[in-house]
Amino acid sequence: MTTVAGAGARRRPFVLELPAVACTVVLLAVAFCVVYPLLLVVLESFQVAPPGQPAKCGLDGWRAAFAEPLLRAALINTLKVTVTRQALSLALAILVAWLIARTDLPGRNWIEFAFWAAFFLPTLTVTLSWILLLDPDYGLINLALVGLGLVGRGPFDIYSFWGIVWIHVITGSLTVKVILLTPAFRNMNAAFEEASRVAGASTARTALSITVPVMAPVVLSVLLLGTMVSLQTFEVEQVLGVPFRFFVFSTMVYDLIVTRVPRYDAATALSVVVLAAMLPLIVTQQWLTRGRRYTTITGQFQSRRQRLGRWRWPAFVLALLLTLVVLGVPLVFAVLGTFMKLFGFFNIPDPWTLKNWKTVLTDDLFLRSLVNTVVLATSTAVAAVLIHSLIAYIVVRTRYRARQALDVISWLPFTVPGIILGLALLWLFLDVGFLRPMYGTMAVLVIAGLVSGMPLGVQIVKSGLMQLGGDLEEASRVAGASWWATYRRIVLRLMAPTLVAVGMITFVGAARNIGNIALLATSANRPLSILQLDYIAQRKFEEAMVVACIIMAISLVGALVARVLGLRGGLG
């Protein structure tokens, strides 16, 4: 049924009704994959019987969790890492986004693309690259400083609190904030800035007194999203923190499960604590998003870029240095690490070799993992395009009464730490009888990829649909075409660049994902990302770097394709 809003000077957008039954099926399926697993985590925290035994409720898991000697330290460590990385990355991100979007910074388009590409680099790859530079014993920077006689002992130690913070800042924390803030700064109404300049204020004073305060709601929303992502950290602390007994909540949950006798009750109890800590952040972020009227975004006033004057080239040097830190250094040293006879030791005789590549590329384990990765990433990407676009379509283009609930549920996985989401899905496949045979298959990892990628995929398609007029859809329906024919022939074709961009982003995410699947992967369905983690656990850093480079190549190609198609689809 086609519904066209009627009278009035302002014509409402065209609404294409999908049968309520179909919408309800989608809502229930999404809730089953997202909400039900999280409820299982809460319920299992009160389960004291071992898996496979008759259910028995109690508080033993909670007692065990709060009796953990490392719990207090893990809580403090989590808060310290979160606050420090958010403070540093937000300040840098505001500066970089402002320089790219509002000033005459040289090479700003290339710098923006560099941050986009860096966002897709696997965190584990970046971590290994910086180990080559900042290891306290053989890090290249430490060796250089000692060799020059500037210090007696290398001053930098990546296996430390500040080493962990450094990696977080230059990976997801900084890059994702730049990606989110740059379009917001670019679309901001510049009337107040122009008035400030006419009044004689300098560029710096205008930025501090006008631009940043006007953008405060957007900045606060991005900060909250970044804080929620901070609570999801796993790989960095697992690699850099465990060697000096530095635990955060996610690594504690992982450690409780992968022990010889898994302690699921304590792990789920800790997971519930993290979920409870997320609730205020979720409510606040949703309130900010709904309450914002986007009054800063308008096309009525086109401003010229602010001139940096004598600070133009110093600002360019700063932006270039940040670009090298987030993208250049990881790329160069990830490749160098693959050719080292002994990972990190640059000063041994004849340190270079091709043996690592030969060892990995001829290993049956690698070949199986490569096939698993291709199957996983491709299947997840194709399914994401279909499912995420359908969810977005129901939310944007229909009057289904529960569409807001569907929108909130589709966004929920973003707020759940990856290791806890993996634990929730693990309980789903172990608890639901008809799903139990799927455990250990590729389908489990595909579902995990779909769920974890749902927030970003749905939001991107929603943005594209909001920019898409409904005239062609309306004409198709008036001509007698069915909903499916209209959706397939009109919507999917017009949205093709956006949908392919979503597919590529999902492909990259599935190929490099670790936290969400660490508890779900087995020897039968292990992808390259988990193989890399296994190599690191076995101290086979040379082989791990080879795998890292292959994942990095996949990620960068996917990022480039997604960027080009995203710009073509109006998402740039």
Task: List, in order of start, the domains of the chain with CATH numbers.
Answer: 13-43+64-342+387-480 (1.10.3720.10)
Q: Which of 278-287, 396-405, 503-512 has the lowest mean pLDDT?
A: 278-287
- Cβ proximity of 330 and 130 under 8 Å: yes
Q: Give the tokens for residue 172.
A: 């997801």
Lowest mean pLDDT among 111-125, 140-154, 274-288, 487-501: 274-288
Residues facing 16 on adjacent strands: 2
pLDDT given at position 361: 92
**DSSP code at position 53:** S
Cβ atoms of 544 and 535 within 8 Å: the answer is: yes
Q: Where are the alpha helices (DSSP H) in 327-363?
A: 329-338, 355-361
Mean pLDDT of 385-390: 90
pLDDT at 323 over 90: yes
Distance of CA 370 to the CA centre of its chain: 22
Question: Which residues neighbour 495 within 8 Å (Cβ) at sequence distance 6 or greater?
Answer: 389, 461, 464, 465, 468, 569
Mean pLDDT of 347-351: 84
Q: Between 75 and 265, whose confidence is greater?
A: 75
Residue 15 DSSP SS3: strand
Beta bridge partners of 78: none
Residue 148 has pLDDT above 90, yes or no: no
**Of 53-67, 329-343, 519-533, which range is least confident?**
53-67
Residue 291, both tokens: 């309450």
pLDDT range class, residue 470, cuts 50, 70, 90: low
Question: For residue range 72-117, what is the model confidence (pLDDT) as tens digits?
Answer: 888 899 889 999 999 999 999 999 998 998 888 898 889 988 898 8
pLDDT tops 90 at residue 161: yes
Cross-strand bridge partners of residue 47:
57
Please report where in the chains the tokens 């049968």 appear, as a residue: 19
Give the whole-angstrom CA distance, residue 527 versus residue 376: 8
The closest of 302, 318, 295, 298 to 98, measured between CA atoms, is 318
What pLDDT band is residue 14 in, cutting at 50, 70 and 90? very low
Say which residue, 15 or 172, is predicted with more confidence.
Answer: 172
Which of 146-155, 158-167, 535-544 ranks highest by mean pLDDT? 158-167
Instruction: Kindly tell me if the per-residue pLDDT of 348 is higher than 60.
Output: yes
Encoded tokens for 553: 């190549």
How high does pLDDT run on average in the chain?
81
pLDDT value at 321 more than 50: yes
Any idea what DSSP says for residue 215?
T
Residue 227 has pLDDT above 90, yes or no: no
Q: Which residue is listed with tokens 């060697």?
A: 243
The pTM is what? 0.78
Can you give the pLDDT at residue 504?
83
Cα–Cα distance, 102 to 193 (Å, whole number): 10
Opening angle at CA 345, ends 343 and 348, nearest 5: 130
The confidence score (pLDDT) of residue 547 equals: 92
Q: Which two tokens stand for residue 121?
A: 């680099």
CB neighbours (10 Å) of residue 269? 26
Please choose, from the candidates 102, 242, 88, 116, the residue with its C-alpha nearest in 3D space to the C-alpha of residue 178.
116
Indicate the pLDDT class of residue 482, thresholds 50, 70 and 90: confident
Q: Summarize the confidence of residues 280-307 as an average pLDDT.
A: 58
Which tens digit of pLDDT belongs to each residue from 495-517?
A: 777 788 788 888 888 888 887 88
Among 234-238, 441-445, 499-503, the range of highest mean pLDDT: 441-445
Tell whether the model's pLDDT for residue 301 goes beyond 50.
no
Residue 28 has a pLDDT of 94
Dihedral pair phi/psi, residue 188, rounded to 5° = -70, 140
Instruction: Report the pLDDT value the prediction gives residue 317, as an integer from 0 to 100.
Output: 94
C-alpha 566/C-alpha 555 separation (Å) is 16
The SS3 assignment for 152 reads coil
Q: Cα separation of 505 and 510, whole Å?
A: 9
